Structure 1
Amino acid sequence: MKILMYNTVAEELPYVKDWSAKTGHEVVNLFDPLDTENVSMAKGYDAVSTQQTTVMPAPIYSKLAQFGIKQIALRQVGYDVFDLPAAFENNIRLSNVAAYSPRAIAEYTLTQLMNILRNNKKFDRAMATGDYTWAAGGRAREIYQMTVALIGVGRIGSSFAQMLHALGAKVLAVDPIYRAQNEAFVEYTTLDDALSRANVISFHTPLNSQTKGMADKSFFDKIQPGTIMLNMARGEIVDMAILEKSLLSGHLYGAAFDVTPNENEFMDKKQSINELPENIQRLVQLDNFYLSPHIAFYTNTAIKNMVEMALNDAVTIVNGGYTENEILR
């Protein structure tokens, strides 16, 4: 079987080579995301795979169908990049990798929470100027004193909840899906109740019609003064203008984001600070805001699993089989 892998990154190549040697399937790598310009490259292949934050518009699926390709295997969790109606209309089966390493993202979220609690950005900036005083950063809070509201308690949220519980934090869970196994370390509650009680709010939910724009003015009005906000999920969940106002006013004590709504303009690029979107330029200057380039997932384990699971699913679907990672109508 011949598989065309779009948007390959260098770190994936050793795992692709190992998988090909193990399975006997041929994988050809392209280093750009799948789009209307390069979809024609898929002609003559049996399957395609990609990982990207740029959307795949409707013409892509009809082209793939013309080439006899029946699927797209996504090497990531978030599948909001798909045009689902267009894919299904063209009988293109879709899969994602829903659990390549939930701990990777959970551990990174915990890392950023600790950074905020310990005022590390303030201390780092002060020390760079020669200021080694305690007052430069301020006193920290300890995590066992925190009540953390998790918006979305799937694989990643559950992993984060277990870590928080082990460290002594109170964990509140907001999710329409109840998982009985989580009762040992979370308290399920409503969104309004969680927002009124939490010191920390962390998003671990997919982007969909229910979550897009969820953290709007009404949402921010319900949170306690001095709350910390964490978003390693999708940028479009949070209204960034209101986030900025809340950080400047002190209503939010701090925030750490691995995503932004406009990240395709600047993520994964080298550029001058002055070339960044204006709101990002302002936000990164704040001592209480942490921004990372969508790398919460970025571990050896995660990269290996993303490659192997997506390629295995591609083969399974092409052969007419079914995988638990398939995105259903």
Structure 2
Amino acid sequence: MKIAVFSTQPYDRRFLDEANLQSDPSNPFELVYQDASLSARTVSLAQGCEAVCVFVNDVLDAEVLEALAGYGVRAVLLRCAGFNNVDLQAAHRLGLFVARVPAYSPEAVAEHTLALVMTLNRHTHRAYNRVREGNFMLDGLLGITLHDKTVGIVGTGKIGLATARIFKGLGCRVLGYDPYPSADFQAVGEVVELDDLLGASDIVSLHCPLMDSTRHMINRESIRQMKRGAMLVNTSRGALIDTPAVIAALKSRQLGSLAIDVYEQEAQLFFHDRSGDIIDDDVFQRLMTFPNVLVTGHQGFFTEEALREISAVTLHNLSCLRDGVACANVVPAV
């Protein structure tokens, strides 16, 4: 089978090639790597392929899916857990096989969440730059002790649970909210309603999928419910946050600090080198002016273990289609 792999970086090629050779050395898939992201403008690159392999910022709306089906593409392989970028109704109407990687090294994202919190709280990124310039003053680097603080985990699935365990280990009080709470979470923290979590937490960390019910769940109203001066962390999906509302809360000091690894309009920014360009996203540029905002470019998943698991599961999903066996990772119709 021939697969067009979109939005590829050197590390994608490395781990997918490795998984391809290990999965079936005598009958490997033919992987055709494309640097471009998938969209209506680039969908023609999938001609001659039986499947496409895509990532978080590829566009799979009805127009793109219909074009893919017209080219004879039978499968959409998501090398990520989220599927908010896929028009599932159109995909199933067209008879396309859609499968994802539902859980890959949740500890990777949980550990990155901790890294963001520790960096932003103790200002280690600013201290690093100061020391390199010979400035050893501590003024402006004051943080708080996380022990005994309250951390609210919004979304208690595998990543949220892994994050909760880390903060529990630091001696924090852990609260969790989820419409479908994890039984395992109750051994780590206390399950509460979202309003109660927002009002009591010194740190609020988001670990939910992006759906209609969660889009802009952090907005002007929910921010007003948060403890004044709290830290907000998002390592899930950018559109969970209403960014202009967050900017207003930072300006008013209602929100104490913000750490994000995702951004609602990240598709034109993240996974690209824009260092020589003028970034014309005024909202993002405004965010970058705040000293109490920390942004990383969607790297929470970026560990060797996670990339190896993503590649292996992605090709396993395709093997299920090729061999005509049931696949546990198929995304059902909505």
Provide the TM-score with structure 1 as the length reference.
0.93
Q: Which residue of 1 aligns with 2:273?
A: 269
Post-superposition offset of 1:227? 0.3
Matches within 5 A, 1:120-159: 120-124=124-128, 126-127=130-131, 130-138=134-142, 140-159=143-162
Q: Which residue of 2 aligns with 1:202?
A: 205
Matches within 5 A, 1:182-197: 182-197=185-200
RMSD: 1.9
Matches within 5 A, 1:85-100: 85-100=89-104
Post-superposition offset of 1:18? 2.4
Structure 1 residue 35 and structure 2 residue 19: aligned?
A: no
Q: Does the residue aligned with 1:143 lie in a helix, a strand or coil?
A: coil
**Contact kept in structure 2, 1:229 and 1:255, CA below 8 Å:** yes
**Contact kept in structure 2, 1:72 and 1:92, CA below 8 Å:** yes
**Contact kept in structure 2, 1:48 and 1:314, CA below 8 Å:** no
Structure 1 residue 7 and structure 2 residue 7: aligned?
A: yes
The 1:318–1:61 alpha-carbon spacing in structure 2 relative to 1, beyond 3 Å, is: farther
The 1:132–1:187 alpha-carbon spacing in structure 2 relative to 1, beyond 3 Å, is: same
The 1:49–1:265 alpha-carbon spacing in structure 2 relative to 1, beyond 3 Å, is: closer
Task: Say which is worse superposed, 279-288 or 101-110, in terms of deviation.
Answer: 279-288
Provide the rounded CA distance (Å) in 2 between the counterparts of 1:184 and 1:222.
26
Task: Say which is worse superposed, 309-318 or 222-231, in terms of deviation.
Answer: 309-318
Q: What is the letter of the counterpart of residue 148 of structure 2?
A: Q
The 1:239–1:38 alpha-carbon spacing in structure 2 relative to 1, beyond 3 Å, is: closer
Structure 1 residue 109 and structure 2 residue 123: aligned?
A: no
Q: Does the residue aligned with 2:186 lie in a helix, a strand or coil?
A: helix
Q: Does the residue aligned with 1:144 lie in a helix, a strand or coil?
A: coil
Q: Which residue of 2 aligns with 1:249?
A: 252
Provide the rounded CA distance (Å) in 1 between the counterparts of 2:322 and 2:43.
18
Post-superposition offset of 1:231? 0.5
Provide the rounded CA distance (Å) in 2 between the counterparts of 1:19 and 1:76.
16
The 1:38–1:135 alpha-carbon spacing in structure 2 relative to 1, beyond 3 Å, is: closer
Q: What is the letter of the counterpart of residue 192 of structure 1?
A: D
Q: List gaps (5 residues or longer) in structure 2.
A: none
Counterpart selection for 1:219 from 218, 222, 232: 222
Q: What is the letter of the counterpart of residue 212 of structure 2?
A: S
The 1:258–1:14 alpha-carbon spacing in structure 2 relative to 1, beyond 3 Å, is: same
Provide the rounded CA distance (Å) in 2 between the counterparts of 1:100 and 1:317.
21
Query: When the two structures are aligned, how many residues end up with a matched partner?
Result: 328
Structure 1 residue 295 and structure 2 residue 317: aligned?
A: no
Q: Which residue of 2 aligns with 1:81?
A: 85
Post-superposition offset of 1:212? 0.4
Sequence identity percentage: 27
The 1:280–1:94 alpha-carbon spacing in structure 2 relative to 1, beyond 3 Å, is: same
Deviation per CA, 1:176-197, whole angstroms, max 9, x where unpaired?
1122122110211100111111
Counterpart selection for 1:166 from 149, 156, 169: 169
Task: Say which is worse superposed, 39-48 or 254-263, in terms of deviation.
Answer: 39-48
Q: Does the residue aligned with 2:139 lie in a helix, a strand or coil?
A: helix
**Which aligned runs of 4 or more in structure 1 are off by greater than 6 angstroms?**
none
Provide the rounded CA distance (Å) in 1 between the counterparts of 2:255 and 2:205.
13
**Contact kept in structure 2, 1:3 and 1:49, CA below 8 Å:** yes
